[in-house]
Every structure is written in C-alpha cells, then in structure tokens.
C-alpha cells in the first residue's frame, strides 16, 4: 500500500508554456492513489525554491503531502509551476532525511544524540569560547532560504544576545552587489517596480540572467506578453547559449566581464543621440563619480565627457558585438514610445565590479526616465526564496539591522535597542565587534580566529569559492563546526554537531520574494523523527546561554507568529512596512510598503506609493536619498581579476541548470530531476573538443591556479559555449567545481565572482 502510494503518478499535467525550451505546467502532480487524492485538503504556500515566489497548493492526506499544484489565486504564477515546483513534495521524503541530532565522538564518528545533549553542548562550548576568546570567537552563517522568523531569531540571538556582528548569509554570494547597487543609486534597497511590469513592457533586456531555467515562471510571463503583442522583444545578452536563448528574439554573445563596456556604450548612444529624458534628469537625478574611492558630485557635462571613452566603435571589439548592433539596441532602449525593463541575476552580481554594473543598468533607466513608471524599470532577480525577505529586509548581514538600518549608524542601533527594550549600548558597533563579510568570516575560521561557526540552511563546503583555501585549514584549526540541514551534505560531513532541521511546510514560515512580496505559509505536516525548525534551534541555544529574555516563553505556542509580529514592529515607519500577520494569512502575499493594509505596486511614484510627498515633481520622488534624487554614476571599465592566458587558456564559467537547486541536496532526491541530470558535465565547444582530442562523454581535467576537478565532457547540447570557454554547474558533490573557482570579490559588495576565471583543460587518459 505505502510503496504503491509512493509511486509517482502524473495527473493531468498540461504543458502551457510558450516555448518547448521552458516548460511550465498546470495541473496536479500527486503521489497518492485516486481515492486518497479525493480526500486531500489543499493549503496555500509559496514555493520552497526560487526567489520568484510562486504560489503552490499543497495537498495533505493523513499528515503527509501527497500532491502539489500551482495556486490559481496567486498573482505571481496564476496556477502554473515549473518542474522544481512540482517536485516540492519529494524534497521532504528522501530516504536519508536527517531525523536525529548527532555529535562527533572521540573516535571521529557522528553518533546519535538527544536534542538536550546537542543544544547543551553548543551552548556550553559557545559560552566557554566566549569567556576564553571573546564574543567574536563564534559566528552564525545563514541563508536566503531561512524564513523571516529564522533570520530574525538568528539576528537577535547573535547581535542582541551574544553581541557580536559575526552573522552572515549565503546571500552574500548571491545578491550583495544588487543591494549595494540599489543603495548607491536610490539610497534604499530593492526594486521600484514589480512583476506586473512584465505584463506590459515592450522591450526586455536580459543582462546576464538565464531566466528560462532559473526564473521560469517570470520568463513565462514575458513569453505571454510576447505572444500577445508582436512588437514585444526579448534581447538576451549572455556569455554562452542556454535555454533562455530559445525564448528570446535576439541573443548577443559578449566577452565575459565586458558588460561594463556594453552598458556604458548604451549610455554613450543615449546621451549623444539625444535620447535622454531631460526633464526627468533635471527633476530627479544627480550625477556622481566614485572612480578611486573619492565620491564626488559631477554634472551632465562631466558625465558626457566620461562616456567619450565608450563610443561603440571604440569598445565593440572588446565586447564582441558589432558597433552598429550596439547602436541599434541602445536606440531601441531609448525609444521614448517604448516601455523597457532590464533584468539581471548572477551574471551581473557575481562580478568583481558587480556594484558598478548594477549602477550602470540603473543609469540607463534614469537617463531615459524609464523607472518608477508602470511597465518600466530595472529589476534585479533574486535567487533564493527569501533572500529579500530574510537577508535584506531582516538584515542578516554583519553590517545590517532590520529595514535597511546599519550597525555603523549609532541612531539605528539605538532605535533597535528601543524596539527590543535593551539597555543603550547593547548592540555592538563596528568598533565593539568588527564587521566581517562572508568570505572573510570563513577565512577567520580557517585562521583559527573564529573558533566555532554554526552553519544553518546552507552548504558552504560546496559553495564557497576557492574551497582549497579553506577546508584543510579549518580541519587543522580545530574549529567547532555546527551544521543544521535536512540531508547529509558536503558540510554535514565536516560537522562536530549535526542538527536535523524541519523543512518548509513542516513549520510555519514567511518568505519575501523579488517583488517585495511577503508570503505566509502554515505548518502542514510534522517534520520527520526529531527534526526541529531553525527558529526553535536558535531560541533554545539562546535560552541555554542566558539570553532567554530576548525570546519570552509566552511566545512558544506561536513562535513564528510572535517573532513575525515583533519584526513587523521594526519595519513600521521605515518605508519598509510589512503587512500584518492576519493580512498575510488571508492573502497571497502583499508587497511592502504596506500602509493601511494596502500594498505598493510601484515605489517612488505617488500614484502607488504613499511615502512619496505631495510636492514631488510629476509625482516621482526617490525618497531613499535625502534630496529625493537618484544617482547616475560614472563607473569605468575595470578588467576582471583573472583572464585566460597562455598557461590557463580557457574561461571557466559556473552556475546552474534547470533541474537542480544549488548543491543538489534537495533536487537530487526528486527522482525525475535527478535522473535527467545525474551528474555535472563540463560543456565545451566542438572546436575546442576537437583540438583537445575530446569526444562527448570523455573525462576532462579542469585545472586552475587553485585546484582541479574531473568531469565528463558535453558538446553542442542544450548548453552551447563559445570557443575558449568551459561551463560547469555546481550541483554535484562529486564534481566540486568550487575547488577551481576564484575567490576574488567586489571591493564594495564583497560578493565573489564565480562566473569567470582562467583554467586549462586536458583529456583524462
Ligand atoms: N533551477 C534553478 N533555479 C534557480 C537556482 C538553482 O539553483 N536552480 N538558484 C536560484 C539562485 S539562488 C540564483 S542566484 C539564480 C541564478 O540565476 P542566473 O544568474 O540566471 O543563473 P547562473 O547559472 O548563476 O548564471 C548564468 C548567467 O550568467 C551570465 N554571465 C556569465 N558571465 C557573465 C558576465 O561576465 N557578465 C554578465 N553580465 N553575465 C554573465 C550568463 O550569461 C548567464 O545568463 O537562480 C535561482 N533559480
Ligand atoms: N561555483 C559556483 N558557486 C556558487 C554559485 C555559482 O553560481 N557558482 N552561486 C552562489 C549562490 S548565488 C548561492 S545562492 C549559493 C547557494 O549555496 P548554498 O546555500 O550553500 O546551497 P544550497 O544547496 O541551497 O544549500 C542549502 C542547504 O540547506 C539545506 N536545507 C534545506 N531546507 C532547509 C531548512 O529548512 N533548514 C535547514 N537548516 N537546512 C535546510 C539543504 O539540504 C542544503 O544543504 O551558492 C553560491 N555558490
Ligand atoms: S519558478 Fe521558482 S518559485 Fe516558481 S515553481 Fe519554479 S522554482 Fe518554484
Ligand atoms: Mo543565489
């Protein structure tokens, strides 16, 4: 009975997408017998996977999830889901779920333990370390896959309890450049517009985003827009061919890292051909330059002079796109009769000048007035389901506090101390506890300065760049490693304590997606065995360390809800006001700022946004900046940290494929997805393969100055790379490409560049 129930039965799944390259489905995918499915009760939840934040309906029978379908009532996806969304139920039911805490014994083996033993051990080790080495000897490394209460509890525990700034998320590797980009340009994080703009824009420019595979639902909305209006165009700038190419009208391959030239060349054309919106510029824009760390005001004339180096004819060869094409595309962008969106993801953010590249894209919209207006705007796509809601809005970074408050600002710390009823001076300033971004934090662990780190809902032993720099040194440093996960992973292997976590709808939670939408989900099923949610884990250790007053016992019956309510109080009046608990339970999410229960579709525009002052010229005010004006930044080209040379002649680009989520811990347990992509391949061009003597399926060795791996070669298939490049996804624990990647970071956002480094390739004999 049980095993037949587990058989994967397809029920009326209809492919509805615009292109074969990017299937979206409508229907119910169920593991249940027909009778059982009839008995299922369906509950709403946001999807566990990507930052799109699709609404799913989860069918439960006898305490088990038996079906998943798209939520017709969700304004994000209107009933459709991608293949990962349909795999959600299987994520919970892999045979090797972690169900019991484990502690490494003196013989070096992980041994089952009780929660009390595990939590007491963590609390006593951390208390001892803090008294011997100070509060900055411990650290918490979290995740954009944390719920809002997980992140809020983790932040309060570390900053208000332990009083250390040693808190960072994996989101540092993901959208730190986008955050600093928004802050530098608008003075406030996250986009002005929303997904609604996808339904009305005329031209979509993709600047380094494989949307068909990574944000399939949003690509589908663009396809629907394109089908409805023959004038719509999708222009895909990319460094290699992927599924997104098939759904785009134009694909333009550019040289890695030359995007800085390309965006400035666009600006050159717009400015020099009079395609700028001068009244928008006069009313809403300042020009600044921050080339060598000195941030200075400039004017339009100086900006125009700066752009002189970026005439298409002068830079086209280095970009790899003909000058006439760049001019044609820039004119499309500037056409005053067209609504234009820019979209980008890791191509732009994982970049040693990711912040600059973000600013350059905002520039194009500001000089043409195509921002803060319906169907227009730059939209940075977020990767993880709550990178926005948890990491950015709650502020689970070393330097941040809730709602764009920062640790370095004494007033912000004081506001949080008041909200949390803490004595003045409780929250550590950067002088009390240094700000340590993610890769620097791991360097401190490797160097023995941080003596213990708690890894929660992330898998850094597979995803940190340049892993060889860290792993052996961490082992010999003797650091005490705590890992909370739902499955065994590259990180749990290294742990001294493993904590089994409850996943997604095994707990109550809240996620915040790319378009500022906060969404609630209820606990629908029990976690397996003794697994417990991350919030509970933090609260329990905090209490055992004497910080119980931060998390009153009276909250316990509704811990997530109480934490959310307290978090909400930190957002009120900050222009980040999130919705009430009840409104979230009753709705399919609401986009902040939410004032009087009403969400905000477009920020900075008085038609939609109550924070815009009545006197704002033409109803637009970039209120994140004191003078209400956004900044157009002069940002020059700067070469990448490493480029191919005679010894390491290939570009290595790394990233994802449709079927897998990051390190594959979840998607490798979704049978259909795992079977489609069982191992990570090394994608090569035919010409390079021929000159290397490599055929499809041969093993190749990929070596950089930092490390080496072997992988099977793939040629001319779904992913096509230009000559001189190899692409390797990072989902496969047996093909750890981060042994090879570069650790270089953007000096402003501290985000690593995983998209380019130099490697040599040889056939494995
Ligand atoms: N199926 C699936 N979906 C996911 C995820 C997943 O693991 N699997 N993860 C989610 C997360 S957390 C994230 S961050 C997103 C990632 O989403 P994406 O960023 O779309 O995906 P990646 O594979 O990381 O990056 C591939 C892109 O990088 C661009 N690129 C490479 N080099 C350069 C360059 O020098 N400049 C520019 N401008 N672009 C360049 C390529 O052109 C390509 O479009 O996906 C989210 N969605
Ligand atoms: N080479 C290369 N490396 C990259 C990137 C790249 O493009 N190229 N991209 C970077 C980016 S953008 C990102 S976002 C990171 C992602 O990097 P990671 O966050 O390290 O990767 P995930 O596989 O998402 O790890 C999440 C872990 O949490 C576990 N988990 C799932 N649900 C729960 C839960 O509810 N609680 C707990 N405690 N655990 C849970 C999963 O099993 C998994 O092991 O990778 C970065 N690394
Ligand atoms: S597009 Fe993203 S949020 Fe939507 S179903 Fe797919 S993985 Fe889930
Ligand atoms: Mo990400």
- Res 305 pLDDT > 80: yes
CA of 669 to the centre of ligand 4 (A): 20
Q: Whose CA is nearest to atom 6 of ligand 3?
A: 82
Q: How many CA atoms lie within 13 A of 591 on its CB side?
A: 20
Reply yes or no on whether 84 is catalytic.
Answer: yes
- Res 401 pLDDT > 70: yes
Ligand 1 atom nearest to 357, measured from its CA:
38
Catalytic residue among 44, 84, 507, 750: 84
Residue 593 preceded by cis peptide, ω within 30: yes
Reply yes or no on whether 50 is catalytic.
Answer: no
Reply yes or no on whether 383 is catalytic.
Answer: yes
CA of 80 to the centre of ligand 3 (A): 9
- The CA–CA distances, whole Å, from 761 to 20, 503, 683, 688 equal 33, 40, 11, 10
- Res 158 pLDDT > 60: yes
Q: Is domain 121-172+386-591 classified as CATH 3.40.50.300?
A: no
Query: Does residue 521 have its Cβ closer than 6 Å to ligand 2?
Result: no
CA of 142 to the centre of ligand 2 (A): 10
Say which ligand is closest to the CA of 218.
3
Using one digit for the tens of pLDDT, what is the confidence trace for 579-607? Answer: 999 999 999 999 999 999 999 999 999 99
CB contact burial 498-524 (16+ within 10 A = b; e otherwise)? bbbbbbbbbbbbbbbbbbbbbbbbebb
Q: In whole angstroms, what is the distance from residue 740 CA to residue 701 CA?
A: 11
Q: Whose CA is nearest to atom 4 of ligand 3?
A: 54
Above pLDDT 90, what percent of the chain?
Answer: 93
Q: In whole angstroms, what is the distance from residue 135 CA to residue 158 CA?
A: 9
Say which ligand is closest to the CA of 345.
1
**pTM, two decimal places:** 0.97
pLDDT tier at 16 (50, 70, 90 boundaries)? Answer: low
CA of 728 to the centre of ligand 1 (A): 12
Say which ligand is closest to the CA of 145.
2
| Of the candidates 69, 5, 78, the residue with the CA atom closest to the CA atom of residue 42 | 69
pLDDT tier at 13 (50, 70, 90 boundaries)? Answer: low
- Res 481 pLDDT > 80: yes
Average pLDDT, the chain: 95
Query: Does residue 22 have its Cβ closer than 6 Å to ligand 3?
Result: no
Type and span of the H or E element at 151: helix 148-155
pLDDT tier at 202 (50, 70, 90 boundaries)? Answer: very high
Helix (H, G, I), strand (E, B) or coil at 143: coil
- Res 11 pLDDT > 60: no
- What integer is the mean pLDDT of 677-681? 96
CA of 459 to the centre of ligand 2 (A): 5
For the chain, give every domain's residue range: 2-91, 121-172+386-591, 176-381, 650-763
Catalytic residue among 82, 102, 175, 222: 175
Say which ligand is closest to the CA of 456.
2
pLDDT of residue 292: 67
Query: For a substitution probing ligand 3, which of 17, 82, 145, 195 has the most ligand atoms within 8 Å of its CB?
Result: 82
Token duo for residue 61:
């029978």
Ligand 2 atom nearest to 383, measured from its CA:
14
Question: The domain 650-763: what is its CATH number?
Answer: 2.40.40.20
Ligand 2 atom nearest to 462, measured from its CA:
20
pLDDT tier at 716 (50, 70, 90 boundaries)? Answer: confident
* Secondary structure in 3-state letters for 348-396: HHCCCCHHHHHHHHHHHHHHCCCCCCCCCEEEECCCCCCHHHHHHHHHC
Q: How many CA atoms lie within 13 A of 740 on its CB side?
A: 30
Do 671 and 726 meet the contact criterion of CB atoms below 8 Å apart?
Answer: no
Alpha-helical segments (H) within 630-757: 671-676, 686-692
Tell me whether residue 308 is exposed, middle or buried, using C-beta atoms within 10 angstroms of its C-beta: 0 to 12, 13 to 18, 19 or more.
Answer: exposed
Do 68 and 44 meet the contact criterion of CB atoms below 8 Å apart?
Answer: no
- What integer is the mean pLDDT of 75-91? 95
Q: Whose CA is nearest to atom 16 of ligand 2?
A: 662
Question: The domain 2-91: what is its CATH number?
Answer: 2.20.25.90
Q: In whole angstroms, what is the distance from residue 244 CA to residue 216 CA?
A: 9
Q: In whole angstroms, what is the distance from residue 52 CA to residue 50 CA?
A: 5
CA of 160 to the centre of ligand 3 (A): 35
CA of 527 to the centre of ligand 3 (A): 23
Beta strands in 577-658 (DSSP E): 590-591, 630-634, 650-655
Neighbouring C-beta atoms of residue 681, cutoff 10 Å: 23
- What integer is the mean pLDDT of 715-734? 95
Query: Does residue 665 have its Cβ closer than 6 Å to ligand 2?
Result: yes
Q: For residue 561, how far is the Cα from the chain centroid?
A: 24
- What integer is the mean pLDDT of 617-638? 97
The region of weakest confidence among 12-26, 190-204, 371-385, 563-577 is: 12-26
Query: For a substitution probing ligand 1, which of 24, 655, 664, 676 has the most ligand atoms within 8 Å of its CB?
Result: 655
Query: For a substitution probing ligand 3, which of 54, 214, 659 has the most ligand atoms within 8 Å of its CB?
Result: 54
Helix (H, G, I), strand (E, B) or coil at 9: strand
Do 723 and 255 meet the contact criterion of CB atoms below 8 Å apart?
Answer: no
Say which ligand is closest to the CA of 722.
1
- The CA–CA distances, whole Å, from 137 to 134, 290, 363, 397, 550 equal 6, 35, 42, 17, 21
CA of 212 to the centre of ligand 1 (A): 10
Using one digit for the tens of pLDDT, what is the confidence trace for 26-72? Answer: 878 877 766 778 899 999 999 999 999 999 999 999 999 999 999 99
Query: Does residue 348 have its Cβ closer than 6 Å to ligand 1?
Result: yes
Q: Which fold has domain 176-381?
A: Dimethylsulfoxide Reductase; domain 2 (3.40.228)
Query: Does residue 666 have its Cβ closer than 6 Å to ligand 2?
Result: yes
Residue 308 preceded by cis peptide, ω within 30: no
Catalytic residue among 383, 395, 509, 664: 383
- Res 136 pLDDT > 50: yes
Reply yes or no on whether 175 is catalytic.
Answer: yes
Token duo for residue 174:
């993901």
- Res 280 pLDDT > 80: yes
| Of the candidates 40, 91, 77, 65, the residue with the CA atom closest to the CA atom of residue 674 | 91
Conformation bin of residue 546: beta by default, left when phi > 0, alpha when psi is -120 to 50? left
Q: Are strands 102-104 and 497-500 parallel, antiparallel or unpaired?
A: antiparallel
Tell me whether residue 207 is exposed, middle or buried, using C-beta atoms within 10 angstroms of its C-beta: 0 to 12, 13 to 18, 19 or more.
Answer: buried
Between 332 and 8, name the one with better pLDDT: 332
Q: In whole angstroms, what is the distance from residue 151 CA to residue 168 CA?
A: 10
pLDDT of residue 19: 47
Query: Does residue 381 have its Cβ closer than 6 Å to ligand 2?
Result: no
Query: Does residue 383 have its Cβ closer than 6 Å to ligand 2?
Result: yes
Query: Does residue 741 have its Cβ closer than 6 Å to ligand 2?
Result: yes
Query: Does residue 757 have its Cβ closer than 6 Å to ligand 1?
Result: no
Ligand 1 atom nearest to 240, measured from its CA:
42
- Res 9 pLDDT > 70: no
Reply yes or no on whether 346 is catalytic.
Answer: yes
Catalytic residue among 22, 50, 174, 217: 174
Q: In whole angstroms, what is the distance from residue 231 CA to residue 226 CA?
A: 8
- What integer is the mean pLDDT of 480-484? 98
- The CA–CA distances, whole Å, from 243 to 50, 66, 219, 247, 490 equal 17, 31, 11, 7, 29
- Res 319 pLDDT > 60: yes
Above pLDDT 70, what percent of the chain?
Answer: 96
pLDDT of residue 203: 98
Reply yes or no on whether 675 is catalytic.
Answer: no
Token duo for residue 596:
């009087």
Q: Whose CA is nearest to atom 3 of ligand 1?
A: 214
């Amino acid at each position: 009975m049980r095993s037949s129930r587990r058989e994967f039965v397809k029920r009326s799944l209809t492919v509805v997408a615009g292109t074969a390259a990017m299937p979206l489905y409508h229907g119910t995918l169920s593991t249940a017998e027909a009778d059982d499915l009839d008995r299922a009760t369906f509950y709403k939840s946001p999807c566990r996977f990507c930052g799109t934040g699709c609404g799913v309906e989860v069918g439960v029978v006898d305490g088990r999830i038996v079906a998943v379908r798209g939520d017709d009532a969700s304004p994000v996806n209107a009933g459709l889901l991608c293949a990962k969304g349909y795999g959600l139920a299987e994520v919970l039911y892999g045979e090797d779920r972690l169900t019991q805490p484990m502690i490494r014994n003196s013989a070096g083996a992980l041994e089952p333990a009780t929660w009390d033993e595990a939590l007491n051990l963590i609390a006593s080790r951390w208390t001892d370390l803090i008294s011997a080495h100070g509060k900055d000897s411990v650290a918490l490394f979290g995740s954009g896959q944390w719920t809002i209460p997980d992140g809020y509890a983790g932040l309060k525990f570390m900053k208000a309890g332990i009083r250390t700034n040693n808190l960072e998320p994996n989101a540092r590797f993901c959208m730190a450049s986008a955050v600093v980009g928004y802050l530098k340009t608008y003075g406030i994080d996250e986009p002005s517009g929303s997904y609604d703009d996808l339904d009305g824009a005329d031209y979509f420019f993709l600047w380094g985003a494989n949307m068909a595979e990574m944000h399939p639902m949003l690509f589908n909305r663009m396809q629907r827009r394109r089908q409805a209006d023959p004038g719509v165009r999708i222009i895909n700038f990319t460094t290699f061919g992927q599924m997104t190419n098939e759904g785009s009208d134009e694909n333009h391959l550019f040289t890695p890292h030359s995007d800085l030239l390309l965006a400035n060349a666009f600006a050159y054309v717009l400015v020099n051909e009079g395609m700028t919106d001068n009244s928008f510029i006069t009313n809403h824009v300042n020009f600044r330059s921050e080339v060598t760390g000195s941030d200075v005001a400039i004017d339009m004339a100086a900006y125009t002079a700066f752009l002189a180096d970026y005439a298409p004819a002068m830079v086209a060869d280095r970009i790899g796109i003909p000058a006439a094409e760049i001019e044609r595309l820039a004119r499309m962008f500037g056409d005053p009769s067209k609504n234009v969106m820019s979209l980008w993801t890791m191509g732009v953010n994982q970049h040693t000048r990711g912040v600059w590249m973000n600013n350059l894209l905002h520039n194009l919209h500001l000089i043409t007035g195509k921002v803060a207006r319906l169907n227009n705007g730059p939209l940075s796509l977020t990767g993880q389901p709550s990178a926005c809601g948890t990491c950015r809005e709650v502020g689970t970074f070393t330097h941040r506090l809730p709602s764009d408050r920062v640790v370095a600002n004494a007033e912000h710390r004081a506001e949080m101390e008041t909200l949390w009823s803490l004595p003045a001076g409780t929250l550590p300033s950067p002088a009390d506890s240094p700000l340590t971004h993610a890769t620097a934090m791991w360097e401190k662990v490797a160097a023995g300065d941080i003596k213990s780190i708690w890894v929660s809902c992330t898998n850094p032993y597979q995803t940190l760049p340049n892993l060889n720099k860290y792993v052996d040194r961490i082992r010999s440093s003797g650091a005490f490693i705590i890992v909370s996960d739902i499955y065994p992973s590259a990180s749990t292997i290294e742990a001294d304590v493993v904590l089994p976590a409850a996943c997604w709808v095994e707990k109550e939670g809240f996620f915040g997606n790319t378009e500022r939408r906060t969404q609630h989900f209820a606990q629908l099923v029990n976690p397996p065995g003794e697994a417990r949610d991350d919030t509970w884990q933090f609260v329990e250790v905090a209490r055992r360390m004497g910080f119980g007053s931060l998390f009153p016992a009276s909250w316990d019956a509704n811990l997530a809800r109480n934490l959310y309510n307290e978090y909400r109080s930190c957002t009120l009046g900050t222009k980040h006001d999130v919705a009430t608990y009840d409104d979230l339970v009753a709705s399919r999410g609401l986009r902040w700022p939410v004032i009087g229960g009403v969400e905000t579709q477009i920020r900075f525009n008085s038609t939609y946004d109550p924070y815009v002052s009545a006197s704002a010229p033409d109803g637009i005010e970039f209120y994140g900046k004191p003078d209400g004006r956004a900044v157009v930044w002069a940002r020059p080209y700067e070469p990448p940290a490493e480029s191919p040379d005679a010894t390491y002649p290939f570009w290595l680009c790394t990233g994802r494929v449709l079927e897998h989520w990051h390190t594959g811990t979840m998607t490798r347990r979704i049978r259909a997805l795992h079977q489609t992509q069982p191992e990570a391949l090394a994608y090569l061009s035919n010409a390079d393969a021929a000159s290397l003597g490599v055929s499809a399926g041969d093993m190749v060795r990929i070596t950089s100055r930092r490390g080496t791996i072997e992988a099977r070669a793939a040629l001319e298939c779904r992913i096509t790379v230009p000559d001189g490049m190899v692409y390797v996804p990072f989902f496969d624990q047996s093909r750890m490409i981060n042994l090879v990647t570069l650790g270089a970071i953007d000096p402003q956002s501290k985000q690593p560049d995983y998209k380019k480094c130099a490697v040599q390739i040889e056939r494995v004999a």
